[in-house]
Structure 1
């Protein structure tokens, strides 16, 4: 059902930050209202969120249980720099609470439990009126180092794996999915958003301050940044750039407000208007398709046996 206002709490990491980066402006541009609290921690998995929850339930004063930065204006909790998940959930009558897996585990459903259930149980206890929604994260860009190792992992396999894993989680608990990963992959299948490495750029000896052509990318990609006082050339094939943030923000908008994102008037400064229109079209098409899918719990609500991708052995990159 369409709505004019929504109160949203995200339990996630940098991917939830990316998807909500432009969400306030997107919502405001349509004349609607948004209350947003981000219980997001960089590189955080379901397991880690559940660990912080367990610590908070055991001892409300334990620092381990309160890792989330307080926003007193949103939560109305004064005098605290950090809050626990139970505090954040109980502070506002939330309409939606999102959960997600760490992207490095997104295509490995064997890591979901019992942590997903612990978080879902807590949400249902402390925010009983909220709809719990799954944030489907996305596969990394085509040039991510994982795909170059020769162990069989490709962007397509990562996407297919995470899509199946989130679908299992959705069916297990009867939860809707915010299809950010589907939207990213759908966009990548179009000519405009197909990324191809710059064949004319010297990646081994990059000229300082210069970047390769990255047309069509939905991820940050190659960049220069200061590390230990020196300029360092590096790749972020994981996180969304402006286009990716806008695309996933539109997916979130449709998921929460039930309104076609063609109504969105906001366009980020560094995104051409025609590109923004194209991304809104993709977000709507994917969101519309997701609405037709059945999310009823399987096995009368009992947990489905997770599939396994443990045969794909991967190294763990530095958390971001």
Structure 2
């Protein structure tokens, strides 16, 4: 079993919603835990590490629970194979928001896991968040002049710089989403289907499923076409359109071919 721990917010919640099910469809057994605080930036993650506060909702395999947990407690729960963190979306395009917090977080994670802690050494990755939808009403979109392209270019530059600085692999969700947004039937300026449900979070079925495909390929090297899973959720009673799901798989795999 592969064990994955995300330390994030609603964007990692979107990314991990269908990861367990999608990986299972591809023949990989997983335990996927997301530590959730809405809108949580790196600075607050670091402060929570310092205080040991049990501030995170524990989400397992895409299911919300009533349990609240500290980062240290989560690290001690398993010998994790992967630990993933990210910047809050609104700060993602601002280089000065990452430090010194990312460096301190990485030092803490390495101190609490792996050989120093007498256990297995997990791989730590950065999750690249995504730009908001065209016309998003998010209050922080003005920091990017309400331009999806500007936000995308800024966050991509920041994430790549931080990944290179610390020698981390990057889960390129923001880049895959931007790639898919430029292709039918997801070209919003031309009346296409948005991958977002509210202008910034991923849609319950298609956006979240696309993220699962990105994580599947990054973590396990498995292409989306190998995971014959159709997303479903009680939050959105309408059944997923299988043609759209197949299109997302194809576009996700095309991105990796062209990247």
TM-score, length-scaled by structure 1: 0.70
| Cα deviation 1:253-280 (Å, max 9, x = unaligned) | 1112111221111012532222112211
How far 1:81 sits from its partner (Å)? 4.2
Q: 1:149 to 1:45 in 2, by over 3 A?
A: closer
Moved more, 138-147 or 261-270: 138-147
Q: Distance in 2 between matches of 1:253 and 1:246?
A: 11
Q: Distance in 2 between matches of 1:243 and 1:264?
A: 15
Residues paired across the two proteins, number:
241
Q: Distance in 2 between matches of 1:100 and 1:151?
A: 19
Q: 2:39 matched to 1:22?
A: no
Q: 2:247 matched to 1:285?
A: no
Q: Distance in 2 between matches of 1:69 and 1:152?
A: 33
Q: 2:37 matched to 1:41?
A: yes
**SS, match of residue 192 in structure 1:** coil
Contact 1:183 1:286 in 2 (8 A): yes
Q: Distance in 2 between matches of 1:173 and 1:151?
A: 26
1:243 to 201, 206, 224: 206
Is the radius of gyration larger for structure 1 or structure 2? Answer: 1
**SS, match of residue 282 in structure 1:** helix
Alignment of 1:84-123 (within 5 A): 84-123=70-109
1:135 to 127, 131, 139: 127
RMSD: 2.4
How far 1:83 sits from its partner (Å)? 2.3
How far 1:182 sits from its partner (Å)? 0.6
Q: Distance in 2 between matches of 1:191 and 1:288?
A: 18
Alignment of 1:153-172 (within 5 A): 153-172=146-165
Q: 1:142 to 1:127 in 2, by over 3 A?
A: same
**SS, match of residue 155 in structure 2:** helix
Q: Distance in 2 between matches of 1:149 and 1:6?
A: 40
How far 1:147 sits from its partner (Å)? 9.4
| Cα deviation 1:62-118 (Å, max 9, x = unaligned) | xxx2212357x99xxxxx943221221122110100010000001011100111111
**SS, match of residue 6 in structure 2:** strand
Contact 1:247 1:280 in 2 (8 A): yes
Q: 2:19 matched to 1:53?
A: no
Q: 2:224 matched to 1:261?
A: yes
Q: Distance in 1 between matches of 2:6 and 2:58?
A: 13
Contact 2:58 2:69 in 1 (8 A): yes
**SS, match of residue 133 in structure 2:** coil
**SS, match of residue 99 in structure 2:** coil
Contact 2:86 2:127 in 1 (8 A): yes
**SS, match of residue 238 in structure 1:** coil
Q: Distance in 2 between matches of 1:149 and 1:87?
A: 37
- Greater helix fraction, Structure 1 or Structure 2: 2
TM-score, length-scaled by structure 2: 0.86
Q: Distance in 2 between matches of 1:49 and 1:113?
A: 12
- Structure 2 unaligned regions, length at least 5: 115-120, 233-238
Q: Distance in 2 between matches of 1:251 and 1:151?
A: 25
